[in-house]
């Protein structure tokens, strides 16, 4: 899906044509890659660009997503013992809250 970017919004438009300058060495490497893959040089270049973009997404630079990813990494780094302690703390918290809610005739969590 071709996109045109303006400000913080992207909208679909026609095809995008890129012109890039490659050194002689880079041109030779691209031509060799194209030959190995049985593609025209242009098709090989397009495939390389698309492959490079495969992991890129607008969310990759979103501060909220980055924070959530960092928290997930930290959770993964915590030992099982620490996670068990935290789970027990949350279970106790939920028990105490539900005791108060039950006494007040409220719905339990």
Give me the DSSP letters along 37-61. Answer: HT--HHHHHHHHHHHHHTT--GGGG
Instruction: Give the residues across from 3 on adjacent strands.
Output: 12
Give CA angle at 81 (75, 83), nearest 5°.
Answer: 35
- Tens of pLDDT, residues 46-95: 888 888 776 666 666 678 888 888 887 777 766 777 878 888 999 999 99
Per cent of the chain over pLDDT 70 is: 77
CA distances 80 to 36, 76, 91, Å, are 48, 9, 16
- pTM, to two decimals: 0.41
């Amino acid at each position: 899906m071709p996109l045109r970017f303006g400000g913080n919004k992207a909208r679909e438009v026609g095809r995008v044509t890129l012109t890039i300058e490659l050194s002689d060495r880079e041109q030779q490497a691209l031509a060799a890659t194209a030959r190995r893959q049985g593609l025209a040089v242009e098709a090989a270049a397009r495939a390389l660009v698309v492959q490079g973009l495969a992991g890129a997404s607008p969310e990759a630079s979103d501060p909220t997503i980055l924070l959530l990813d960092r928290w997930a990494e930290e959770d993964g780094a915590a030992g099982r013992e620490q996670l068990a302690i935290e789970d027990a703390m949350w279970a106790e918290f939920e028990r105490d809250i539900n005791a108060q809610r039950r006494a007040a005739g409220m719905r339990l969590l």
